[in-house]
């Protein structure tokens, strides 16, 4: 199995190869000898693979985990008061994209060349201006049109050269957003993005028609957010330590909505939104609030710099990194000390950056353990989950270990073989650090190879362990597109899944904590929930 893992991964000098075969027992001395890179990939001692999993139950929607088993059932027996809306493509498509069609309502009017050039400059920048001049060759002097045509060709050549180095730059904006979105099959589904509020039972869903809906438990009103700039929403995140602010990554800018939690309005005006933009920094595909809520980081695949925003002051600090094709994924560690920006990692004390040069391909998804000491990540196009451990003593990580192999495995089922496994699309770790959900991309051509969510039981103390738990299945024909754990579910973990049929469902995992919570984990939990811990700090005052 080791050999199967190794291909395409090692990517190192042959000198180092013998070291890597030693499973998990790399000594410090051996590590020092490796000069070329800071990250090694080692197969983990307890590596988990899909063949260890119980066979998926295709009978129906997975309802919950109970007594260590995933229980299927019928969807009408919904267990909780959390809203689980369903959106269909047809109901959303009607009023989308009015901009493209409104042109036909106006008569064609030829402006002067000057006006057209100014408009082209405003709309499409230098490219548009040159294009306009080249196109209206009969109105301008010949030398000007020829010169602009040459300049345009030169620019196109240069950009295509740049694009050949970083292929994603040649994509259109929508394609780029679809490529780097955490939502599987972003462009086709009715749901575009999803985010739980970190402290309350409230979530926001971005839909195909570029609107955002907010659902709360115990509430009938679900505000709809619409804004002129809110197009192609790629990511959503609520501001921690705040009741109202929601950051939205759009195609052209970053929007910060301030939705009053007590307001009964179903359609907050666009005056409630702050628009943050920076030239050259779009489309934005990823954003991350710092756990203290004071900073917001945004990233775009086009821009090599990521922006650190002081949202209230609407000012930003660009963190420039020369080379590379932009930042595609951001994730802040729960203790706020590190920020993963695929693929460099910044530490947030002095904002220095560690580079992991030998990662092949870009990072697709990642998640931090609740204490911020461990990072699981997956790489685009690969079927493996890597783990990196950080500690304050050694500084950055010295080795990445392969902790799970998720290549295709077949299970016998009632209607023939069912194949699961494949490329890792998204990773999610519950806030207690006990369940890990992995979204595996299926094969859209083969009918018995759907996308599935594999759930692992995890433990990080005393040693990091992954144990198989089961597969979360949807209704017949529905595939998972996106998933996120509820940030403070009291009886275990609660996984919210967005399905391909536009449904959002919640799958609870009931378990009692292993009792191995570290000090820091307790603290994180305490700060994440308003639920009172057992030890009372104050004696009650008689009132």
Partner 1 sequence: MFSLKQNCWFIKKVVIWRAVASIAWSVLLLPVTTAVFVLLSRFSLFHPIQWISECTSLLTASTTIFTLVVLCGVVLMIGFFNLEFYTLVPSIRCSRMSLLGTVLHPRQCVHSLVYCTMGMLVMWCASVTIGGRYSTLGTPCRQSESGEFVTCLNEYHLFLLLAGAFMGYSHSFLGVVQNMYYVSFQPIQQYKYPRFKGSLPAVVKGSVIQSLYSARNFAALYFFFGYVPKTWIASTLNLQIDSSLQPLDSLTGLLDFSLLYHLAISGTFLYLTWYLTVLLFRIYVTEAYSFPVQSTFTEDSEQCLPKVLTEKNTSVMKFLALQDLALLSQHSLSRRREVFSLSQPGGHPHNWNAISKECLSLLSELTQRLVAHQDAVASNGRVKSQSASSDIRSASSSSSGTEDILETPRLSVPLRTPGSVFKSSVGGAHSALTAPFTPDVDSPFSSPAIRRLVGQQDPHSPWFGTVQSPHVMRRGPKLWSASTESQANGSPLASPATIPSPPAANQKPSFLTQWMQNRREQLPEASSQALFADSQAHIWALQGLSHLVAASFSEDQFGVVQTTLPSILSCLVVLLEAVDRHFKLPHASSKPARTICSMGDSTYKTLRFALRAALKTAIYKITTTFGEHLNAVNISSEHRKRLQQFLEFKE
| 325 touches partner 1 by CB under 8 A | no
Smallest distance, partner 1 to C-beta of residue 197, A? 8
H or E stretch covering 61: strand 61-66
Exposure class string for 390-416: b at 16+ Cβ within 10 A, else e: beeeeebbbbbbbbbbbbebbbeeeee
Both tokens of 448, joined, read: 């018995």
From candidates 312, 463, 467, 514, binder to partner 1 by CB under 8 A: 312
| Residue 539 binding partner 1, by CB under 8 A | yes
Q: Which of 29, 76, 110, 531 binds partner 1 (CB under 8 A)?
A: 531
518 lies in the site for partner 1, by CB under 8 A: no
Interatomic CA distance for residues 465 and 492, integer angstroms: 18
Q: What's the length of the chain?
A: 543
Min dist. Cβ of residue 349 to partner 1 (A): 6
319 contacts partner 1 (rule: CB under 8 A) = yes
Helices (H), 89-136: 89-93, 113-135
Tell me whether residue 325 or residue 336 sits nearer to partner 1 (CB atom). Answer: 336
Identity of the residue, 108 or 519, whose beta carbon is nearer to partner 1 in the bound complex: 519
| Residues ≥6 apart with Cβ < 8 Å to 141 | none
Q: Interface with partner 1 by CB under 8 A: which range of 104-112, 156-164, 305-313, 452-460?
A: 305-313
Whole-angstrom CA distances from 438 to 269, 274, 429 are 37, 34, 9
For partner 1, the binding residue among 103, 349, 393, 534 (CB under 8 A) is 349
Nearer to partner 1, 300 or 419 (CB): 300
Query: What is the SS3 assignment for 146-177?
Result: HHHHHHHHHHHHHHHHHHHHCHHHHCCHHHHH
Nearest residue (CB) to partner 1, 95 versus 122: 122
Range 172-231, binding partner 1 (CB under 8 A): 197, 199-200
Residues 274-303 contacting partner 1, CB under 8 A? 292-295
Q: Is 3 exposed, middle or buried (0-12, 13-18, 19+ CB in 10 A)?
A: exposed
Would you say the C-alpha torsion 264, 269, 272, 277 has a positive or negative sign?
positive
Q: Which helix (H) or strand (E) holds 6?
A: helix 2-6
Give the nearest distance from C-beta 310 to partner 1 in angstroms.
4
Binding of partner 1 by 105 (CB under 8 A): no
Pick the closer one to partner 1 by CB: 58 or 520: 520
Q: Which of 104, 109, 512, 530 binds partner 1 (CB under 8 A)?
A: 530
Binding pattern to partner 1, positions 240-279, x when CB under 8 A?
-xxxx----------------xx-----------------
Pair of tokens at residue 212: 């955002």
> How many chain residues are in contact with partner 1, going by CB under 8 A?
48
Give 123 or 314: the residue with its C-beta nearer to partner 1. Answer: 314
72 binds partner 1 (CB under 8 A): no
Minimum distance, C-beta of residue 84 to partner 1, in the bound complex (Å):
21
Find the binding residues for partner 1 in span 407-446 (CB under 8 A): none
Sequence-ordered strand ranges (E) for 390-431: 400-405, 409-413, 416-420, 424-429
> Which span sits near partner 1 by CB under 8 A: 41-49, 134-142, 367-375, 525-533?
525-533
Contact pick of 106, 114, 161, 538 for partner 1 (by CB under 8 A): 538
Joined tokens for residue 122? 């405003």
Burial of residue 378, with CB atoms counted within 10 A of its CB: 0-12 exposed, 13-18 middle, 19 or more buried? buried
**Using rule CB under 8 A, residue 393 touches partner 1:** no
Stretch touching partner 1 by CB under 8 A, among 25-33, 107-115, 122-130, 315-323: 315-323
Contact status: 490 vs partner 1 (CB under 8 A): no
Least separation in angstroms between CB 23 and partner 1:
35
126 binds partner 1 (CB under 8 A): no
- DSSP letters of 201-225? SEEEEEETTS-EEEEETT-----EE
For 47, 423, 520, the CA distances from 5, given in Å and listed in that order, are 11, 14, 34
Asked if 487 and 495 touch (Cβ cutoff 8 Å), the reply is: no
CB of 218 to partner 1, least distance (A): 11
Contacting residue, 143, 350, 476, 534, with partner 1 by CB under 8 A = 350
In the complex with partner 1, the residue whose CB is nearer, 35 or 531, is: 531
Nearest to residue 28, comparing CAs of 398, 336, 538?
Answer: 398
Positive/negative CA dihedral, 223, 228, 231, 234: negative
Cis omega before residue 97 (within 30°)? Answer: no
Binding site for partner 1 (CB under 8 A): 197, 199-200, 241-244, 261-262, 292-295, 308, 310-315, 317-320, 336-337, 348-352, 519, 522-523, 526-533, 536-541
């Amino acid at each position: 199995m080791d050999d199967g893992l190794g291909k395409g991964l090692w990517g190192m000098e042959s000198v180092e190869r013998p070291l890597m075969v030693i499973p998990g027992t790399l000594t410090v001395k051996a590590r020092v000898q490796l000069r070329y890179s800071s990250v090694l990939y080692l197969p983990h001692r307890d590596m988990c693979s899909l063949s260890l999993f119980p066979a998926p139950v295709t009978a129906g929607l997975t309802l919950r985990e109970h007594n260590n088993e995933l229980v299927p059932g019928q969807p009408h027996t919904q267990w909780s008061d959390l809203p689980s809306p369903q959106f269909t493509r047809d109901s959303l498509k009607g009023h989308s994209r009015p901009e493209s069609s409104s042109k036909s309502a106006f008569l064609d009017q030829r402006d002067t060349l000057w006006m057209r050039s100014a408009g082209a400059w405003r709309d499409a920048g230098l490219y548009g201006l040159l294009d306009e001049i080249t196109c209206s060759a009969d109105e301008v002097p010949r030398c000007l049109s020829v010169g602009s045509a040459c300049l345009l060709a030169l620019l196109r050549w240069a950009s295509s050269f740049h694009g050949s180095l970083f292929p994603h730059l040649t994509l259109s904006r929508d394609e780029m957003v679809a490529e780097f979105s955490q939502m599987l099959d972003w462009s086709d589904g009715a749901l575009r993005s999803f985010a739980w509020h970190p402290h309350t039972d409230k979530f926001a869903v971005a839909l195909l028609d570029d609107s955002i809906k907010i659902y709360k438990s115990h509430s009938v009103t679900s505000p709809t957010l619409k804004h002129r700039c809110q197009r192609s929403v790629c990511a959503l995140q609520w501001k921690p330590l705040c009741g109202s602010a929601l950051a939205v990554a759009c195609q052209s800018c970053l929007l910060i909505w301030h939705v009053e939690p007590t307001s009964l309005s179903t359609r907050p005006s666009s005056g409630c939104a702050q628009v943050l933009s920076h030239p050259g920094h779009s489309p934005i595909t990823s954003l991350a609030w710092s756990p203290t809520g004071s900073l917001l980081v945004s990233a775009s695949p086009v821009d090599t710099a990521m922006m650190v925003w002081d949202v209230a002051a609407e000012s930003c600090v660009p963190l420039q990194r020369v080379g590379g094709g932009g930042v595609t994924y951001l994730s802040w560690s729960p203790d706020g000390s590190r920020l993963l920006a695929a693929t460099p990692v910044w530490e947030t004390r002095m904002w220095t950056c560690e580079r992991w040069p030998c990662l092949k391909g870009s990072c697709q998804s990642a998640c931090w353990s609740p204490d911020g000491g461990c990072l699981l990540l997956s790489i685009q196009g690969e079927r493996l989950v890597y783990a990196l451990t950080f500690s304050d003593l050694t500084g950055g990580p010295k080795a990445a270990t392969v902790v799970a192999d998720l290549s295709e495995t077949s299970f016998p089922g009632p209607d023939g073989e069912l194949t699961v496994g494949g490329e890792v699309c998204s990773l999610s770790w519950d806030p207690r650090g006990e369940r890990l959900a992995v979204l595996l991309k299926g094969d859209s051509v083969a009918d018995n190879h759907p996308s599935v969510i594999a759930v692992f039981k995890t433990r990080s103390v005393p040693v990091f362990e992954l144990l198989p738990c089961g597969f979360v299945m949807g209704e017949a024909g529905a595939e998972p597109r996106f998933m996120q754990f509820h940030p403070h579910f009291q009886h275990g973990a609660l996984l919210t899944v967005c399905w391909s049929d536009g449904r959002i469902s919640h799958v609870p995992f009931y378990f009692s904590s292993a009792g191995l919570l570290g000090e820091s984990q307790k603290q994180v939990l305490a700060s994440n929930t308003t639920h009172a811990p057992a030890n009372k700090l104050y004696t009650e005052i008689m009132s």
